Amino acid sequence: MANIPLKITTQDPFIPLNSLILVTGINGLIASHIADQLLAAGYRVRGTVRNKSRCAWVEPFFTSRYGAANRLELVQVPDITAPGIWDAHVAGVSAVITVAGVAWLDDRDVPKAVNQELKCLYGLLHAAKTAGSDTVKAFIYTSSLWAAYTPKVGAPAGTLTEKSWNQEAVALAEDPSIPDAEKGLAPFMAIKVKVEEALWDWVAREKPTFTFNAMLISTVIGPILDPENQSASTAGWVRALYDGKPKQALEVMATLGPSWFIDARDVGRLYLGVLVSGLTGSRVYGFAERFNWKQPLDIFKDLYPEREELVELPGSYQCDESQVLADISLSLLRAIGQERWTSLEESIKDAAESFVSTGQSC
């Protein structure tokens, strides 16, 4: 599915085109694709990074892609938890999309990590609220599938709804009888649960005039916009499979396991759909289809049968069997002219082309 501007089918977008949108952490995989879709649709973007010198590629990349340099503004925010840091950066924007965070996969002190995340997010919410109803009209928080549940293979399949919360991970993370080394990703999942819950509590308590939605994003695969400058998180891990690095690939499989996937471009389009439609009060699932890490490897073998670096991976092709209500997500895609999810095969193919063409590898 080509990365081209889609036709917005809504006659009167909730956030008018050419409005300025704040996107935090624009150098990352998800945020860069959000910015890409916003710029393609006709919005202007103010993107934040922690260090402009390390992210010097961002402005020239998007300027060359979309022409006019004044459509993208890059600002440096070294400490996203600092009091009042967001006030100046929220000024003049019509919507806030927050992607950047401070928690790490290996965090074990859940209360401390939650506190740090909320320092940033409460600051952003306060800045958006005090900016006034005539400016900020939408706020989108990037959550995770882990805030809703822990993917499992062979377990009874349940249906994920907007009321699904991963209390299993919270209980595991807080269990003092289990050593930290045996808790896996449960503490990080618990952080995602507690942070998102706190944000919904803030919205209920403060009653801001802007719309508020949380995006529960699954494993992101797809093209890397600038392979020379982006490690690209999960999309970058796909390179480990392509490059025949079994140790790195096995570490990914052991850490993440079978789950759901979404193409990076579809992620950006979901956020665009929220701005166009005016959706509010929803937890939006970015789940396109179930997948197992052996599937990308098989796709690579079909695409590059001559490539000797490709390795076998142990295990079965079992996938997580959870069901998800995707009506809201698909309606957001349709609001911007896309009728279906990008498939895993399309996503892997385009991901490969994004780094194979530049000669980039892990």
For the chain, list the domains and their CATH numbers.
20-225+261-289+323-343 (3.40.50.720)
CA distance 254 to 239: 17
**3-state secondary structure at position 55:** coil
Distances (CA, A) of 88 to 64, 76, 77: 27, 12, 11
* Structure token digits, residue 8: 């917005």
Per the model's pLDDT, the better-predicted residue between 308 and 157 turns out to be 308
pLDDT score of 357: 60
* Structure token digits, residue 120: 């940033």
22, pLDDT greater than 80: yes
Q: For 144-157, what is each residue's pLDDT tens digit?
A: 999 999 998 877 77
Q: For 216-227, what is each residue's pLDDT tens digit?
A: 999 999 888 988
Distances (CA, A) of 269 to 38, 253, 340: 8, 27, 12
CA distance 80 to 24: 9
* Structure token digits, residue 170: 């919270």
Distances (CA, A) of 185 to 59, 182, 292: 35, 9, 18
